[in-house]
Amino acid sequence: MQNIENTKQKLYFCTVADSRFILETVALYDSLEREALHFGEYINFWVLCIDDLAVETFKKINTNIQTISLSSLNDKELLSIKNSRKTGEFAQTSKSSLVIYLLEKLDSSCILTFVDSDIYFYTNPALVFEDNGDWSVLITNHWFTEKKKGFAKKVGIYNSGLISFKNNDDGKKCAELWRQQCID
């Protein structure tokens, strides 16, 4: 992985994808890059590839998408449960391990945002952080319709499709707790 530096105009995003989500991930990256560059900002973007074909494909595409293999995370507990979960479940489980891995490498003043690979930005992604006060973790709830409120019992009230972490003690503690809950 390249050396990670921090400047005021860099935005840090990551996602998880397997070979079935290559196109969605490239579209996500393109939307982030286009909107950020329009506002004079630069995107750092990592994708945790949960299969070898994804790693190979992203490298062939030759974009600024930085790939991370599962083995690079050095998370033995995560790897030990891979075969016991469906691909989508394992992708959900691995989000928090990716966040922890990157927070350990980023400068302490950074904000890292995990984004599901099927999200697309139509405006400056930095707007997510404006006017949110003093926070360490930024998360949204699902906003289920009245008809689907019961679904929260299965998936929880919070949406892990976009979560931002400041690289401070509280942000790291929350990411660690999230990881353990995902493993469990």
Q: What is the pLDDT of residues 66-89, one digit of tens each?
A: 999 999 999 999 999 999 999 989
What DSSP designation does 63 have? S
Question: Is residue 97's pLDDT more than 90?
Answer: yes
Please give the Cα distance from 52 to 70 (Å, whole number): 9
- Whether 106 contacts 171, CB under 8 Å: no
Residue 58 confidence (pLDDT): 92
Q: What is the pLDDT of residue 42?
A: 77
**The pLDDT of residue 57:** 94
pLDDT at 132 (0 to 100): 62
Q: What is the mean pLDDT of residues 153-165?
A: 83
- Residue count of the chain: 184
Give residue 17's pLDDT: 96
Question: What is the pLDDT, as a whole number, of residue 131?
Answer: 63
* Model pLDDT, residue 7: 38
pTM of the full structure:
0.87
Domains and CATH numbers, the chain: 10-183 (3.90.550.10)
Which tens digits make up the pLDDT trace of 114-157?
999 999 999 888 777 776 668 899 888 878 888 888 877 777 77
Q: Give all strands (DSSP E) within the chain, no chain letters.
A: 10-17, 42-49, 66-69, 111-115, 137-141, 158-166
> Cα-flanking dihedrals φ and ψ of residue 158, to 5°?
-100, 145
pLDDT for 8-44, tens place per residue? 447 899 999 999 999 999 999 999 888 877 766 778 9
SS3 assignment, position 171: helix
